[in-house]
Amino acid sequence: MSVLVGKKAPLFKADAVINGSEIVENFSLEQYLGKKYVVFFFYPADFTFVCPTEILAFQERIEEFEERDVALVGCSVDSAFSHWKWLQTQQKEGGIKGVKYPLVADQSKTISENYGVLAGHYDLNDEGESLFHGIPQSYRGLFLIDKEGVVRHQLVNDMPLGRSVDETIRMIDALQYFEANGEVCPANWKKGDKALKPTQEGISEYLSR
């Protein structure tokens, strides 16, 4: 498992479904450089159980991400055609119809591998054949990428453990507050709370509130 915080987010070009219905080729996060923050998250597979709860929860809060100048992008090892079919399926039937942000197809598993969230690895047997060991899906990885393309926050959950949209938004707010004010965000900080100056005097002032 690699730690990407402080490093440039790995770039890629892949098929994706955008606007809930349009399959595009060569989708890339490069389009957001210098323009938007990105929350890029991985989920194990289409047509599963925890995954739609997360995907739909992010869609329900899409306006809050847009207000913060953040693009949401999801990704799994399924094909673009599988994404498309799931996006056309009604929610009451286990689908995610209504989701508008992009879903990237990582059939080669190279995107998941480059982000360090692939739940397994390839190896060669004695005959020189390539074999996959583990589960050929992605863990629930989430990466907050700034406008310069640098990863500023990452979270990786095991497959049974769904993520918190509230915590994702809190981390965006913390990053943007720091960028705007130069003050750092202490434990459990949320938008509107007092932050602190990164000095001993600032810490003392914060602790003596």
**pLDDT tens across 101-155, in order?**
999 999 999 999 999 999 988 787 878 887 888 899 999 999 999 999 999 999 9
The answer to whether residue 9 is domain-embedded is: no
Q: What is the 3-state secondary structure (H, E, C) of 16-82?
A: EEECCCEEEEEECHHHHCCCCEEEEEECCCCCCCHHHHHHHHHHHCHHHHHHCCEEEEEEECCCHHH
The answer to whether residue 128 is domain-embedded is: yes
Active site residues: 51
- Same domain? For 39 and 60 the reply is yes
**Residue 179 DSSP SS3:** helix
* Residue entry with tokens 């989701």: 99
Q: Nearest-CA neighbor of 178 among 208, 153, 204?
A: 153
- Same domain? For 145 and 177 the reply is no
- Same domain? For 50 and 145 the reply is yes
- Same domain? For 147 and 175 the reply is no
Q: Nearest-CA neighbor of 171 among 39, 81, 35, 49?
A: 39
The answer to whether residue 7 is domain-embedded is: no
The answer to whether residue 1 is domain-embedded is: no
- Same domain? For 49 and 67 the reply is yes
**pLDDT tens across 79-110, in order?**
999 999 999 999 999 999 999 999 999 999 99
CATH at 158: 3.40.30.10
Which residue range is the domain that position 184 belongs to? Answer: 164-209
CA distance 68 to 206: 27
- Same domain? For 205 and 189 the reply is yes
- Same domain? For 62 and 147 the reply is yes
Residue 173 φ/ψ, nearest 5 degrees: -60, -40
Question: Number of folded domains in the chain?
Answer: 2
User: 114 to each of 165, 185, 190, how far by Cα in Å?
Assistant: 24, 29, 31
Contacts (Cβ under 8 Å, ≥6 apart) of 97: 20, 87, 88, 89, 90, 91
Length of the chain: 209
- Same domain? For 106 and 180 the reply is no
For residue 137, the model assigns a pLDDT of 96
- Same domain? For 60 and 131 the reply is yes
Q: Is the dihedral of CA 73, 79, 80, 82 positive or negative?
A: negative
- Same domain? For 79 and 125 the reply is yes
- Same domain? For 196 and 114 the reply is no
For residue 176, the model assigns a pLDDT of 98
- Same domain? For 209 and 135 the reply is no
Contacts (Cβ under 8 Å, ≥6 apart) of 179: 146
- Across the range 180-205, mean pLDDT stands at 87
The answer to whether residue 2 is domain-embedded is: no
